[in-house]
Amino acid sequence: MALWPCIANRIPLFVVLLLVCLYGTHLSCGYFTSYVPDENNKNCFCELEGSINDCGCEVDTVDHFNNIKIYPRLKSLLVKNYFRFFKVNLNRDCPFWPDDSKCAMRFCQVENCEEQTIPPGLMEHGDNHPFMKPTAYKYSEAAQHADCSDADDFSSVLGIIDTSISDQAHKEFELWAKHDQAEEDFCIIDENDEGSQYVDLLLNPERYTGYKGESAHRVWKSIYLENCFGVQNRSNTFSEYLAQIDLHKMCLEQRAFYRIISGLHSSINIHLCSKYLLSETKDFLSPQGVWGHNIQEFKRRFSPETTNGEGPHWLRNLYFIYLVELKALAKAAPYLRRENFYTGIVEEDQETKMAINDLLSVVESFPNHFDENALFSHSPQGVRFKYEFKEKFRNISRIMDCVGCDKCKLWGKLQTQGLGTALKILYSEKLNIATESGLWEKPHIEIDPIFRLKRSEIVALFNAFGRLSNSIYEMENFRKSLR
């Protein structure tokens, strides 16, 4: 012990600090270092640092903001009844190829919820009609304050429900309204299909089910092929096709499309690696299993050695789609604050609304939001790109009907719909008009707003963002393990 002070007195301080830095960097190829490891010491996090391309912030900023502020709030919010029940049709036919790859594994099946477990407010259908207010309106503060002074605001709606209009005219008005609303949709919404039903998301968590092979490969290859934008596909395999993509030769809109899809793919893969089936019981009547982190599977999917160096870029794309959906929540915040998040359970509905307001305030406080105005200029080319974006995402939502695993299909449809809702918010002319006109500052004007989201869109939006938030949070666990 006495020897160290003597040595220290003979070594300049900067040399000691340099040795400490080099030693610490060698021990951990960490997130906050700029150290570039050799080929034998490289993992998928060593290159995941610095600026998120096409955005104005850095990876560590998003990590801290999400893990400390966003993730804990979302975790407690998404177990609320309003967000845990998602209405979806899992029986739609695949429109692109024969449905010949149904997953027979027990973990692929969706566990149905009993009707009595569904909150009473969700079973009421008053908010599905384009000219009807949500059933929850009669309990709202606006309804209690509404009087004849609001007549001017409601005149257009009163004219629509004039009893002198024939039933056929009502149907035509309804079809026209649905068509007008669908013009801004970026995905196919099937909550009103005859075969749709409520699914309890807490009973059916997203995790590894064993669904893989040619069926899953075909789905993802079809999804990425929607990203062509004129790129010729000369490959026979999925990996060869991805290797052909050169982001430097793409314009901003094309590059953003690919990065959004790649980020969604990365997020789903992280979910599967963080809740991987580690062991299972053999009793078919008791389909229990043990799920947990699979480090080797994570390395296989994202390590530079196994992905031709692309894994870190795929992880970076996760941050890109996270910022896109974060900005959508911030932009829709004035609208979402007017929602009642109605389930018929008064006390919980109030708690949900308070939690939403708290989350939205945190979302709005983020200092470097994604700039959606950088995409889709008003030039003819910008308008064309916007139209192509919509058509491609609608096709992707149709591809989700081709997934052979019902549980994978459930979460695929939900996250695709959530992403489509985020894009609808970011690029809705109606929302821009409502914001510029100050509509959200008029609390008593509730009927037939210029911009409106269905309940399923709101549920999908928050749950999809919750999945991205969870992925970034789980990456910290994998990062620690790989150190």
- 188: containing domain: 59-114+172-228+247-482
**Mean pLDDT highest for which of 132-141, 230-239, 314-323, 439-448?**
314-323
Q: What is the mean pLDDT of residues 185-196?
A: 83
Total number of domains in the chain: 1
Residue 442 lies in a domain: yes
Per-residue model confidence (pLDDT) at position 472: 97
Q: What is the mean pLDDT of residues 345-357?
A: 96
Residue 52 lies in a domain: no
State the Cα–Cα distance between residues 272 and 412, nearest whole angstrom.
13
Other C-beta atoms lying within 10 Å of the C-beta of residue 13: 8
Residue 51 lies in a domain: no
Other C-beta atoms lying within 10 Å of the C-beta of residue 56: 13
Higher pLDDT, 87 or 253: 87
What are the residues whose beta carbons fall under 8 Å from the beta carbon of 186, sequence distance 6 or more? 389, 390, 393, 394, 419, 420, 421, 423, 424
Higher pLDDT, 474 or 289: 474
Q: What is the dihedral sign for C-alpha 272, 274, 280, 286?
A: negative
What are the residues whose beta carbons fall under 8 Å from the beta carbon of 296, sequence distance 6 or more? none
Is the predicted pLDDT of residue 326 greater than 90, yes or no? yes
Annotated catalytic residue, options 103, 108, 187, 405: 405
List binding-site positions.
207, 209, 220, 262, 265, 301
Alpha-helix residue ranges (DSSP H) falling in 85-196: 141-145, 151-160, 167-182
Query: How does pLDDT run across 194-251, given as a tens digit for each residue?
Result: 888 999 999 999 999 888 888 888 899 888 876 666 555 555 555 666 666 666 667 7
- Mean pLDDT of the chain, nearest integer: 77
Alpha-helix residue ranges (DSSP H) falling in 307-454: 311-336, 346-364, 380-399, 406-426, 429-436
Per-residue model confidence (pLDDT) at position 213: 83
Residue 150 lies in a domain: no
Place of tokens 């949500």: 134
Residue 264 lies in a domain: yes
**Mean pLDDT highest for which of 58-62, 132-136, 162-166?**
58-62
Query: How does pLDDT run across 51-91, given as a tens digit for each residue?
Result: 676 666 788 999 999 999 999 999 999 999 999 999 999 99
Other C-beta atoms lying within 10 Å of the C-beta of residue 375: 22
Residue 162 lies in a domain: no
Q: Please, are residues 399 and 219 in contact by the beta-carbon 8 Å criterion?
A: yes
What are the residues whose beta carbons fall under 8 Å from the beta carbon of 146, sequence distance 6 or more? 444
Residue 47 lies in a domain: no
Which tokens hold the place of 42?
Answer: 């490289």
Higher pLDDT, 309 or 349: 349
Residue 446 lies in a domain: yes
List binding-site positions for FAD.
207, 209, 220, 262, 265, 301
Look up 408 and say whether it is catalytic. yes
Look up 108 and say whether it is catalytic. no
Q: Please, are residues 446 and 132 in contact by the beta-carbon 8 Å criterion?
A: no
What is the percentage of the chain residues whose pLDDT exceeds 90? 39
